[in-house]
Structure 1
Amino acid sequence: MTTNEMNLRGRELVDEALLPTEADVARYERTGWHIAPQVLPDALLDSARLAIEAHHAGKRDRILPRKAKFSDWRPGDGDGVRNNEFCSLQNDGVRELVMQPVLGAIAARLARAPAIRLFDDQAIYKPPATGAVGATAVGWHTDHSYWSTCTSTSMLTAWIPLHDAEVKNGTLYVIDGSHLWPECEHLRGFNDPDLDSIEQRMGRAIPKHLITAMQLKKGQVSFHHMRALHASAPNRATHPRFAVAVHMQDAANTYQPLTSANGMAIVLPHDQLCRPDRAGRPDYSDPEIFPEIWPGKARNVKHA
């Protein structure tokens, strides 16, 4: 199946009732997060879970170039948190979920953008509680900290649990309004399970009432701003937790060259996967790596 054929599957009208209202968008702009209603069917989520399990077992529909360095858990890597990046580029079942038009339509409303492209995605698995459950926490971080070569300040992430998500099974937490804090500019703590040290790391007090758990029913999706500080708690349930994070870029996003503190050029795996633009720089509009989720072929919103 070609990329274009996969992009065309499932394109249909998106129901206006599922999209954020202007009041919802204004709230997102204040808090940095939004919870959508149940927009995804159970069958699609169940299929994605089976696809992720097959991915863990070694199945790949496509092989990405070895030169691109990214996390892609395989048997033998241990049984803590499993992080498989660029999963939709390798796995058709995950791609079917990631490319749902409703995800892009919601993101476009929240970002006030005419179009939304995929930037990357992650399939994240947390094993059930055994022993040191703290090891299954995902640390406080901002997505923007890992996307410093992006010019956009409006990128966002859809977080999709493949079942009900609650505090007990390690749901996502977002700190209200943190996307407006300058201290969040370079906060990379994804692999640091010490969730209690965030105030010390930030150098500021964080009132407990600002920390919001994304408690979702199966089919619901949460969205958070690229600069929103977020983490997920340990999985203390008796069953694994499956989730897919879909990182999305607005149409205006392009590549910008940057160097690290030691003077080395910053190179994302995205840069190693996509085609160059006319100037020889990574092209963040390459449809093979960054396909358009919205509007794509779903160019209409169905009004009640």
Structure 2
Amino acid sequence: MTMADTTQFLSRREKIIANLAVILLAVMTLLPFLWFVIMSFKPVDQIFAGVSGLFFTPTLENYAGLVNERFVRSIWNSIVTSTVSTGLALVIGVPGAYALSRAGLKRDRTMSLLILASRMAPPVAFAIPYFLVYRTLGLLDTQLGLIIVYLTFNLALVVWLMRNFFDATPRELEEAAWIDGASLWGTFVRIVLPMSIPAVLTTGMLCFLYSWNDFFFALTLTRNSAMTAPVEVVNFMNYEGWEWGKIAAGGTLIMAPVLVFSLLMRKYLVAGMTAGAVKG
């Protein structure tokens, strides 16, 4: 039964209630973000002006205040560390998940759980060990140091999610390719990987979000050179006062790439969320 077939059984009253519920949920979800974006365009003296602050002349002075070497470098650091760590996690984790799915090990579920265990512990449990090791290896305040941290956690997520997807996909096409003489790697590249593109994009998006929004490790393991955008925004909270305009503008700029990317890839994201849900 399609969605159209289902909706025709709903009464007019039920449709109105359902639409109102969806609108209310959307408003409750988006209102804090909209308020944050609007605040980034307000003059400093009208940010907390109350009712009188509802009507204001938009200004770009808060964004202009971000055009400096430190903030631009922090945005670049976020782009590099998030993109590279996500790419490496997919390149390593997707084939690893496929191998784990097809290996047929007796304790593969236990192995998958152990791989995911790194995501179960709170980040603070890893902070001191990483800091001590990085200080010894000279990786503090470097992009490479952050990439390694993000790769460690993202790799576990990729293997866990993609392994479940591969477990749910039918193997008839792979077996037919093997009969025709295709190798295991050739079958993966030519048949399995194209079918798993929605799941790969969804997993990559989640990994990118984790890396892009990370604050704790970037705060602990960086100082100046490799500082990322979320940490740089905190510098606008100082003893002399909190620069709310710049905080709102910086937060908006941090949210913008993820929002745009999500909208552009929404078709693949929805397909990836349901990929492998039905087996056979």
TM-score (norm 1): 0.21
Which protein has the bigger strand share? Answer: 1
Which protein has the bigger helix share? Answer: 2
Q: Which has the larger radius of gyration?
A: 2
